[in-house]
Chains A and B, each alone.
Chain A
Amino acid sequence: MAIVFLSDDPLQDVGELGARLQDPERGALVTFSGTVRGSTRGRRVTHLEYEAYRPLAEKQLRAIAEEAGERWGVTCAIAHRLGKVAVGERSITIAVASAHRAEAFEACRWLMDSLKTTVPIWKKEHFDGGAQWIEGSDTVPSPSSSTHNS
């Protein structure tokens, strides 16, 4: 069992996401929450904009959640925000429940690493006077007008 979704609206608190995994057999719950930083690479960020290839992104989120379930015997919930996200707002929440803590910590870290490289979601950093796509370890300057795909 895994809970995965993409959201155009603000994400609920990661504790609430974790509560959805409650199970008396799973004594450990590890949660990760990522929020938008106010600066990156020495520049002030005004906001981020996330875009996804939704059908494949949803499939891939489910695939990594299920792979983590098989590898570590955990249950997972992953929610990713899309669209315009302000500084201080949550962009990603992950909750992992397991019988013991070691598996939950490992699976949570692995999920976050896998998500960044295998789920078709992209972030665009907006600054005063400019914007750039983040693509892997590359940055690509972009016209700062809002994109239209999702």
Chain B
Amino acid sequence: MQVTVLLFASYQDAAGTDNLRLDLPEGVTAAGCAETLAATFPALAARLPAGRVAVNAEFADDRTILRDGDEVAFLPPMSGG
């Protein structure tokens, strides 16, 4: 199955892109997606644990099961205001 990954702020600098498609096994969790992402972009590996993840524009957590077509957003610590 395939998901769309969105990256923000320093994560997009580390990956050199703000969005990509990842092929992942059925039943994978958000944590599994993060592992694949970290393996693809080693510069992201150290930064991802400090952030949060959202699936289809809702906050999710490591155990959230992903489905084909999901939009998975990796969010660094926020700094609005």
Contacts and interface: CB of A to CB of B under 8 A. Distances in A.
A149 B78 contact: no
A118 B78 CA distance: 7
A150 to B, nearest CB: 9
Given A136-B50, A149-B19, A53 B80 contact: no
B6 to A, nearest CB: 7
B71 to A, nearest CB: 9
Interface stretch (A17-25, A100-108, A140-148): A140-148
A53 B79 contact: no
A80 interface: yes
A122 interface: yes
B73 to A, nearest CB: 5
Contact of A135 (B6, B10, B81): B10
Nearest to B58: A56
B76 A135 contact: yes
B54 A142 contact: no
Size bin of chain A's contact surface: 35 or more
Contacts of A52: 80
A117 interface: yes
Contacts of B80: 50, 52, 57, 80, 92, 115-116, 119, 121-123
A111 to B, nearest CB: 10
A43 B7 CA distance: 28
Nearest to B56: A55
Given A122-B76, A123-B81, A149-B8, 5 more contacts: A51-B8, A51-B9, A121-B81, A137-B77, A149-B12
Interface of B: 6-10, 12-13, 18-19, 47, 50, 54, 57-59, 73, 75-81
23 contacts: A53-B6, A53-B8, A53-B57, A53-B75, A56-B57, A56-B75, A117-B77, A119-B80, A120-B54, A120-B73, A133-B76, A135-B9, A135-B77, A136-B76, A137-B77, A138-B50, A140-B47, A142-B13, A147-B12, A148-B18, A149-B7, A149-B18, A149-B19
